[in-house]
Amino acid sequence: MQQDGLVVVVKHDCPTCVMVAPVLAQLAEGTALEVYSQDDPEFPNQPGVFDDRELDASYRLDVEIVPTLVRFSGGQEVERTYGWDRAVWEKLSGVSGLGSDLPEARPGCGALNQEPARLTELKIRHGDAGITARRVPIGAQEDPIEACFERDWSDGLPVVPPTDERVFAMLQGSSRQPDEVLGEMPPNYGPCTVEKVAINAVMAGCKPEYMPVVLAAVEAALDRDFALHGVLASTRFTGPVIIVNGPIAKRIDMNGGINALGQGNRANATIGRALQLAIRNIGGGKPGGVDRATLGSPGKYTYCFCEDEAGSAWTPLTVDRGFDAGTNAVTVFAGYGLQGVVDERARTPEDIASVFASSLRAVDNINKFPAPDAILVVCPEHERTLATGGWDKARLHQELIERLTVPADSVMPGQNGIQEGAPASFAGKMICKFPPGALMIVRAGGSAGKFSGVIAGFTVSSPDYSRPVTKEIRT
């Protein structure tokens, strides 16, 4: 592109560009002029026309409308205009009498380099897509999905190949910079950037609009309190459980209703999977390596749902965790699989509380006091019975804690035929199954069926004890 003179960008498909072709011929007679044609190297038919069908010149100039007229001096842009306006063109070019037989003004057309698909391609080609990760070449005869399996990037299920175009689109789902470091991902403690998370979100099958939730979940898992390395390295088989609250859950079509903890919802499934793939591919947390889980769990593929706030009479989990109602947030919890709590005959809050307490006592085992954190997932029918009886979530929590506080002597090692038990330091005292703040309650599930559930958490006896972490979603 020239250092001094005029540059014009046109396309043959634009009526205004066709109209001003004689003007370009006028300008070429007395000034240094370069013309870049976006769609036809034979248009206009005059010297000094450059083929810009690859749109590189148009992209570098950031052309939005054709025709665009730009004046350069000393290699720097001095002034530009777009469309056709005789007075402006004459002033910018310094040439009078341009297009005397043409209308005084006429609008131009959209530039081809601004079309979304082409703009994405151009940003990638010119290094402006924020993608800095090393490209791994795939052979012409390789199946990209099989290539991901062979390179050990998969959790055992097929992944979506992370092409430049897909990663760029995923990055557009968040305003955060691709090179922002969210933390160091255990167990290898490699830097976890927004770009790397985006790559794994693509592989998991996420949509770009899920990215703010995925990023918040990753940040929560990287929080010191979550103790991700301890969760991974343990022979226990817990994994990150993601609970989403706030209007964003509805906006991205998450499921907190029928089959909320099961299959079938893209957002639920892929957000949880994205976190697991990030742990695997960024941190190196792979089964048989640092991940030493004795049995494992299907939840280590993905474990994500939203609380059903719209149908609930209770305050949401975010309020319990210290946030304002309506806050978009994720809570990440190191949990086992779901333990069912079945009671189809209870008709009073007291009946339901007794059933919940008995099931919660089984966390780890009935003698294990104190127990790890746990989540009680209350189904709508059980919640309705509690609400009809005048119990809110706080009352339920209080009643459960009372029922789960017992004489420590009754759960000492050897009691109930079990060698696990309460620490000797509690002898002669009362002891609660759950330490303060360790029992969380959420509402989710289908409107029919009196089936709630317990998600037990990571052990309290480990030095790397994991605690639930809640992070606000940056939207």
Task: Report all structural domains of the chain as residue ranges with CATH numbers, in order of start.
Answer: 5-125 (3.40.30.10), 144-472 (no CATH)
Whether the predicted pLDDT of 203 surpasses 90:
yes
- Cβ burial, residue 45 (10 Å; 0-12/13-18/19+): exposed
Q: Which two tokens stand for residue 88?
A: 């402006």
Whether the predicted pLDDT of 461 surpasses 70:
no
Confidence class for position 233, pLDDT limits 50, 70, 90: confident
**Phi, psi at 110, each rounded to 5°:** -65, 140
Termini Cα distance of the chain: 40
Confidence class for position 298, pLDDT limits 50, 70, 90: very high
**Phi, psi at 183, each rounded to 5°:** 150, -170
**Cα-based distances in Å from 19 to 8, 214, 330:** 14, 51, 57
> What local confidence, expressed as pLDDT, does residue 408 receive?
96
% helix / strand / coil in the chain, to the nearest 5?
Answer: 35, 20, 45
> What local confidence, expressed as pLDDT, does residue 21 receive?
96
pLDDT in tens, 81-127: 999 999 999 999 999 999 999 999 999 999 999 999 999 999 999 99
Please tell me the number of Cα atoms within 13 Å of 157 on its side-chain side.
Answer: 14
Q: Which two tokens stand for residue 220?
A: 């929560």
Whether the predicted pLDDT of 2 surpasses 80:
no
> What local confidence, expressed as pLDDT, does residue 459 receive?
67
**Separation between Cα atoms, residue 268 and residue 273, nearest integer Å:** 9
Cβ–Cβ < 8 Å for 445, 257: yes
- State pTM to two decimals: 0.89
Whether the predicted pLDDT of 1 surpasses 80:
no
Residue % of the chain over a pLDDT of 90: 87
Pairing between strand 304-306 and 239-245? parallel
**Cα-based distances in Å from 50 to 47, 92, 112, 436:** 9, 22, 16, 73
pLDDT in tens, 245-255: 999 999 999 99
User: What's the chain's length in residues?
Assistant: 475
Whether the predicted pLDDT of 235 surpasses 60:
yes
> What local confidence, expressed as pLDDT, does residue 475 receive?
84
In sequence order, what E strands does 12-137 have? Answer: 33-37, 49-51, 65-66, 68-73, 76-82, 84-85, 105-106, 109-110
Q: Which two tokens stand for residue 257?
A: 């209703």
Helices (DSSP H) in 139-180: which residue ranges?
144-150, 164-171
Mean pLDDT throughout 24-47?
Answer: 94
Mean pLDDT throughout 284-288?
Answer: 90
- Cβ burial, residue 311 (10 Å; 0-12/13-18/19+): middle
pLDDT in tens, 38-59: 999 999 999 889 999 999 999 9
Whether the predicted pLDDT of 462 surpasses 60:
no
Instruction: Give the list of residues 6+ apart from residue 116 with CB closer than 8 angstroms, or none.
Output: none
CA neighbor of 442 nearest in space, from 326, 355, 358, 321: 321
Residue 116, phi-psi category: left (phi > 0), alpha (psi -120 to 50), beta (remainder): alpha
Whether the predicted pLDDT of 135 surpasses 90:
no
> What local confidence, expressed as pLDDT, does residue 12 receive?
98
Higher pLDDT, 466 or 79: 79
Whether the predicted pLDDT of 236 surpasses 90:
no
> What local confidence, expressed as pLDDT, does residue 254 receive?
98
**Separation between Cα atoms, residue 220 and residue 240, nearest integer Å:** 10
**Separation between Cα atoms, residue 293 and residue 164, nearest integer Å:** 34
**In the predicted model, what is the mean pLDDT of the chain?**
94
**Separation between Cα atoms, residue 191 and residue 76, nearest integer Å:** 39
> What local confidence, expressed as pLDDT, does residue 3 receive?
83
